[in-house]
Structure formats: C-alpha cells, structure tokens
Amino acid sequence: MFIGEEPIHINALKGSIAPLVLMPGDPLRAKYIAEHFLSNAKKVCDLRNMLGYTGTYKGVEVSVVGSGMGMPSIGIYSWELFHYFNVEKIIRIGTCGVVSPIVNVPELILASSAYSESNFAYTFNDYKEHITKPSSVLNDTIIDVAKTLNYKLHVGDVTTMDVFGPYIDYDRVLNRMPKELNVIGEEMEAFALFHIANYFKKEASCILTAVDSKFSDVVLSGKDREQSLNEMITLALESIIK
C-alpha cells in the first residue's frame, strides 16, 4: 500500500482543516455554506476545484469540504481528511431521491444505515457485508437537535447506488434488497463514508434533503439544490458542534 506523507487530492496546509467537517457533494455548496453560515471563513483548498473552507460557527471552528459525486470520490476525500488532517467527525449533507411514500420533498432524512451492492468496501479492505453504519452517538445528537429546532426528520435506511437513480429503473434494484430494511431514500455516497469512518474509528453521519420522489411530481431545481438547503445545513452545523 502506498501512503505518502502528503495528501494527493486536498491541497490544504496541515492545521488548516478543523476536526469537525461538513461534506456536501457540490463544492459550490461548500462555498455557499462558508459565505452564509460561517464567520471569518477562509478557503483552505481548491485542487481540482474541490473547494474547502474553514471558519467558525457560534465560536467553534468548523470546516466544510466538498466530496464530489459517488463512492470513489467521497472515499478519497474522507480518507485524506481522517488520515492527514486528523478530522474527528464528518457529517455528509446531501440530496437524495425518495423511495418511500412517508417522505415528501423537501423533507430531511437521517441515514440509520446504508445498503449498497457496490464492491467499494470489499475492494478497500475485504469487508464483504452490504450494509455500513453511521456513528450512533452522532446520529443521536442529530435527532436531539432536530427536536430542539422543531425540524421534521425521517430516520431510516438509505441505499447507496453506483448509478444515478433517476436515470435507471431503480425499482429493480430496490426489489433485490433485504426485506427487513426500511429503505426510504437513495443516494450515492453514504455507504463509503460510513465505511471509511469506521475503518479509522471516527464518527460520521449523513443528513439528506429529499429533492425528488417516485411518489410526487415535485422536484427541486439545480439552483435549489445548490442554495436552498438551509434547514439541513443548520441541523448539521448545530449538531456537529455539540
């Protein structure tokens, strides 16, 4: 295994990234969060235009770093954050498709587990299971904070896909999943984030905003996906500083 002394994909100086990190998929969402939610935010990385910022939220130092799309991408960035920058907690804040009638667009989902048919974890370290788990401590904090903020939060299993759900007949994939799972959303990163965090014995969670649903014609636009996810962002920030 090759592990160099410096990260290959995050061009930040050592000490410039906080132990607490929010990870949106879109680097422009990282920029939006830094500009609208953090005080004294400074850009700390921009290699490959994967933007990262560090500032303070209610006096606590927090970083927000883009992850890109898909498990390989978030796997790289979360690995480097944990290994090179001593990050302790990552909350993924992303978007998802809804696969249960109990969730409406644009309600929030907290992943209680992530199921995937991917070989990501098996390739990484021979982990053969198809389910990875978030930090129960961090999830409990998010649930408590959501109650305090009076935010509606659905807690359930998500499926992490290798293919963008709306472009395939994902009912075919859903029908193959274990029936005991309570799958309510589909996305593309949580499985890998949880696996990398568990490997490093660090904390990770995933909060998602529902942006489309097989049970509704309501769809958030690209602009809304970039800038109109403030409730999810607030929940993540309030939770990660606890």
Number of domains in the chain: 1
| Identified catalytic residue from 26, 46, 126, 212 | 212
> Is 1 inside a domain boundary?
no
pLDDT of 165: 87
Cis peptide, bond prior to residue 24, ω within 30 of zero: no
> Is 30 inside a domain boundary?
yes
How do residues 135-168 score in pLDDT, each as one tens digit? 999 999 999 999 999 999 999 999 999 999 888 8
> Is 10 inside a domain boundary?
no
Share the mean pLDDT of the chain.
Answer: 94
* 75: CATH: 3.40.50.1580
> Is 162 inside a domain boundary?
yes
How far, CA to CA in Å, does 4 sit from each of 9, 17, 126? 12, 19, 22
In whole angstroms, give the CA distance from residue 242 to residue 96. Answer: 26
Residue 46 falls in the annotated catalytic set: no
pLDDT of 224: 67
Q: Give the contacts of 37 (CB within 8 A, at least 6 positions apart).
A: 57, 233, 234, 237
> Is 9 inside a domain boundary?
no
pLDDT of 99: 92
How do residues 63-105 score in pLDDT, each as one tens digit? 999 999 999 999 999 999 999 999 999 999 999 999 999 999 9
Domain around 224? 20-240
Q: Binning pLDDT at 50, 70 and 90, where does residue 1 land?
A: low
In whole angstroms, give the CA distance from residue 171 to residue 60. Answer: 43
> Is 12 inside a domain boundary?
no
> Is 175 inside a domain boundary?
yes
pLDDT at 228 over 60: no
Rounded mean pLDDT, 175-182: 91
In this structure, the number of other CB atoms found within 10 A of the CB of residue 48 comes to 12
In whole angstroms, give the CA distance from residue 76 to residue 196. Answer: 9
pLDDT of 215: 87
pLDDT of 226: 59
> Is 6 inside a domain boundary?
no
